[in-house]
């Protein structure tokens, strides 16, 4: 089966179960996000997919090849970018890429040409002659990406690739990854910045306590940010909806309104506008990916967090 497939994958380190049950399929031509909290097993799972760690149980397929049975074949078709990729400190950025290319059995002339191409692609052309030891964290990330791409892999495994990148470089990374996916590459990317991850991925794999939760879950409620062209937005929103003021939060002058679903969100907005409030902004305070992730982590709201109003459009209280 093409792309990346994991079926019932498990891995433990002594008494610690790092990955308990990972089953998913990352499709070619799509970017799949690997989402989970610290310690969920994301890096362990990526190491197994990259043929650098053997699973205790289950099966993995990378473009139909089992990395345990034929790791060399998997490495020829796979680009691996860990969170921190050790660089040869005395080699220049260009020499690092050339050396990586040569390790992939690329002829010297082709390796040199590929290095120049990749340095321009990732925005390191001006640092081609700089030793890796003087590069910043973000520049080392760019170098790591270039090394992962050197042999034109059909599958990319990226662990926190945007870490240390400036805003412009992050935008460039998203464009690059979308372009690679459009060319048919299978891309699996792990990141803690969920709002940013949502901008680039097509699918999400939620890994919680070492297990993949199929499809994630739909959040049972959602927080909306309400920005008004008026002071004391939270009090104004609560009064317009006929709610106790303690049920409406405040953040940097905006009101935070928890609603049960999109129907309730629409009804609340209609009520606010009808009441004559000068609404400048009305939007979810979190991305859909963040909301789904938090719903997985906290199925029940923590004590003290107000529940969504049952019928804000009716102006009722709870």
pLDDT for 123 equals 93
pLDDT for 152 equals 96
- Check if the beta carbon of residue 188 is closer than 8 Å to that of residue 30: no
- Enter the pTM of the model: 0.76
Selected residue with higher pLDDT from 184 and 300: 184
pLDDT for 1 equals 56
Q: How many CB atoms lie within 10 A of CB 115?
A: 26
Distance CA 53, CA 59 (A): 13
Distance CA 112, CA 290 (A): 42
Which fold would CATH assign to domain 4-213? Rossmann fold (3.40.50)
Buried/exposed 36-66: b ≥16 CB within 10 Å, e otherwise: beeebbbbbbbbbbbbebebeebebbbbebe
8-state DSSP, 152 = -
Is the pLDDT assigned to residue 17 strictly greater than 50? yes
Is the pLDDT assigned to residue 20 strictly greater than 80? yes
- Check if the beta carbon of residue 185 is closer than 8 Å to that of residue 153: yes
Distance CA 259, CA 221 (A): 6
Residue-wise pLDDT tens digits, 68-121: 999 999 999 999 998 876 778 889 999 999 999 999 999 999 999 999 999 999
Residue-wise pLDDT tens digits, 119-150: 999 999 999 999 989 999 889 999 999 999 99
Is the pLDDT assigned to residue 218 strictly greater than 80? no
Q: Which residue has the tokens 């002659």?
A: 129
Longest dimension (CA), the chain: 74
Provide the residue ranges of all domains of the chain, joining segments of one domain with +: 4-213, 222-314
Q: Which residue has the tokens 């790791």?
A: 71
Distance CA 159, CA 189 (A): 6
Quick one: tokens of 259?
A: 């609603």
């Amino acid at each position: 089966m093409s792309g990346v497939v994991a079926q019932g994958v498990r891995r433990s380190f002594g008494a610690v179960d790092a990955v308990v049950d990972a089953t998913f399929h990352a499709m070619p031509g799509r970017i799949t996000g690997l989402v989970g909290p610290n310690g969920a097993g994301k890096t362990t799972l990526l190491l197994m997919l990259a043929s650098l760690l053997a699973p205790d149980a289950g099966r993995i397929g990378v473009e139909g090849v089992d990395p345990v049975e034929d790791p060399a074949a998997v490495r020829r078709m796979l680009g691996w970018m860990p969170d921190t990729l050790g660089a040869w400190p005395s080699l220049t950025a260009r020499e690092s890429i050339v050396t990586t290319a040569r390790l992939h059995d690329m002829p010297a002339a082709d390796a040199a040409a590929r290095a120049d191409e990749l340095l321009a692609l990732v925005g390191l052309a001006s640092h081609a002659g700089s030793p890796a030891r003087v590069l910043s964290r973000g520049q080392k990330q760019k170098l790591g990406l270039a090394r992962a791409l050197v042999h034109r892999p059909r599958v990319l495994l990226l662990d926190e690739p945007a870490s240390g990148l400036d805003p412009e470089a992050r935008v460039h990374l998203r464009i690059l990854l979308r372009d690679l996916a459009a060319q048919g590459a299978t891309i699996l990317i792990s990141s803690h910045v969920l709002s940013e991850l949502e901008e680039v991925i097509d699918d999400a794999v939620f890994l919680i306590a070492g297990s993949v939760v199929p499809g994630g879950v739909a959040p049972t409620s959602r927080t909306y940010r309400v920005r008004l062209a008026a002071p004391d937005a939270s009090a104004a929103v609560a009064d317009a909806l006929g709610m106790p003021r303690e049920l409406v939060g405040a953040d940097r002058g905006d009101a935070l309104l928890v609603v049960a679903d999109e129907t309730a969100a629409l009804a609340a907005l209609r009520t606010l506008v009808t009441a004559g409030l000068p609404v400048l902004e009305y939007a979810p305070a979190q991305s859909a990916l963040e909301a789904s992730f938090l719903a997985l982590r906290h199925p029940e709201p923590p004590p003290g967090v107000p529940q969504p109003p049952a019928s804000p459009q009716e102006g009722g209280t709870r």
